[in-house]
Amino acid sequence: MRETASFLLEDALACRENRDAYFQKGLDYLSSNSIGGMIRDKRYRFHWNINLYIETLKHCNAHCAFCINEVNFEHQDIADEKFLHNLEKAIATVRFLDPSIQLVGGEPSIAPKRVRAIFELIQKYELRKPIITSNGSGFVLHDGLLEDIAPQLAHLNISRHHDDEEMGNKIMGFENPLTNALLAEMMRDKTIAPKIRLNCCLLECGIRTYEDMERYLAWAMQMGVNNICFSTLSALPDDYFYDPKIIEQTSKNAVHINPLMTKVTEDARFSFLKFHTGSHCMYEVWQYTRNGKKCVVVFTVSNNHFARKLDQMDDLIELLVFHADGVLAGSWNRDCKVIQ
């Protein structure tokens, strides 16, 4: 298999004991197994299964204290016409890499006109596996948006950091129009429901214990959700492009996942499926069974100190980011590896 993946639990267990070594392994593997390509007279090495992230908007209606989109480099939202013109140029430039697509933000769903136009480009260029990561709020405010794009959509990742609605709103810093009741209603739509994945950050101020995760799983599965991701907050370098306040909040709220994963391993309701290591993100995939129902549960750990290492390798690109101000780069750092 042409990726740093394993279907052996012992590899996941070994990784838990020395994650930095496995991040380095992932970075080394990427460097040795990349594919070559030319863009604007410069030769790059690309991830063999590259993803193009489209920062649909810089603006977000939520105010998560730990959001790593708070950065110290300058970039702003631009008008739809310029944004879409630059995006189509960017897609044409990197189409030869056959990238998968992910719309992120800010908050994509509060810009329905832009999202629809992006999906028109996705269809025009036959781009694969489009995913949206969202807090879901705009799908309530703009009736019909989700239904319009659902036929092309591979996954809708909805950020939901707590099963309790009041706690979830407090964590995200706003009153989300996508209430628990409306989320449950969305799960009754047989066209949309299979595409929904809930993303929950493990937080000291939120879901932090094994019992918390069990309760969250019970709540989600009762609604019919069968795909859930629990993520740790990434370790952030303090000498890079992150706002110091975010670094402080990330450190303050981070949950150490290893004790939780030990309990997952010991819980007979969980069965191991897969382990994967990337250059700065790794995940374990498990299947959870409750009351006869099954749910895929992913546990992710990231370390952006290794993303910084990757950014220092000028010709090696693991992912592509089309930033909200219309700049295409090979990094989440808008000023690094600028392609267009």
Q: How confident is the model at residue 311 (pLDDT cuts 50, 70, 90)?
A: very high
Q: What local confidence, expressed as pLDDT, does residue 1 receive?
A: 36
How far, in Å, CA of 329 to CA of 340, rounded? 7
- pLDDT surpasses 60 at 284: yes
Q: Which long-range contacts (CB under 8 A, 24 or more apart) does 283-289 make?
A: 284/12, 288/217
Specify the number of domains making up the chain: 1
Residue 322 falls within a domain, yes or no? Answer: yes
Residue 32 falls within a domain, yes or no? Answer: yes
CATH of the domain at 187: 3.20.20.70
**Count of positions (residues) in the chain:** 340
Range of the domain at 159: 5-329
Residue 301 falls within a domain, yes or no? Answer: yes
Q: How confident is the model at residue 163 (pLDDT cuts 50, 70, 90)?
A: very high
The answer, as to whether pTM is greater than 0.85, is yes
Q: What is the pLDDT of residues 211-244, one digit of tens each?
A: 999 999 999 999 999 999 999 999 999 888 888 8
Residue 338 falls within a domain, yes or no? Answer: no
Q: What local confidence, expressed as pLDDT, does residue 93 receive?
A: 95
Residue 147 falls within a domain, yes or no? Answer: yes
* Rama region for 209: left / alpha / beta (φ>0; ψ in -120 to 50; rest): beta
What's the whole-number average pLDDT of the chain? Answer: 94
Q: How confident is the model at residue 3 (pLDDT cuts 50, 70, 90)?
A: low
Q: What is the pLDDT of residues 183-197, one digit of tens each?
A: 999 999 989 999 999
Q: What is the pLDDT of residues 19-37, one digit of tens each?
A: 999 999 999 999 999 999 9
Half-sphere exposure of 245 (CA within 13 A, CB side): 8
70-119-50 Cα angle (round to 5): 65
Q: What local confidence, expressed as pLDDT, does residue 40 receive?
A: 87
Residue 86 falls within a domain, yes or no? Answer: yes
Structure-token pair, residue 165 = 């609605």
Q: What is the pLDDT of residues 133-149, one digit of tens each?
A: 999 999 987 778 899 99
Residue 35 falls within a domain, yes or no? Answer: yes
Look up tokens 């392609």; give the residue: 339
Residue 337 falls within a domain, yes or no? Answer: no
Q: Are 178 and 139 in contact (CB under 8 A)?
A: yes
How far, in Å, CA of 209 to CA of 189, rounded? 31
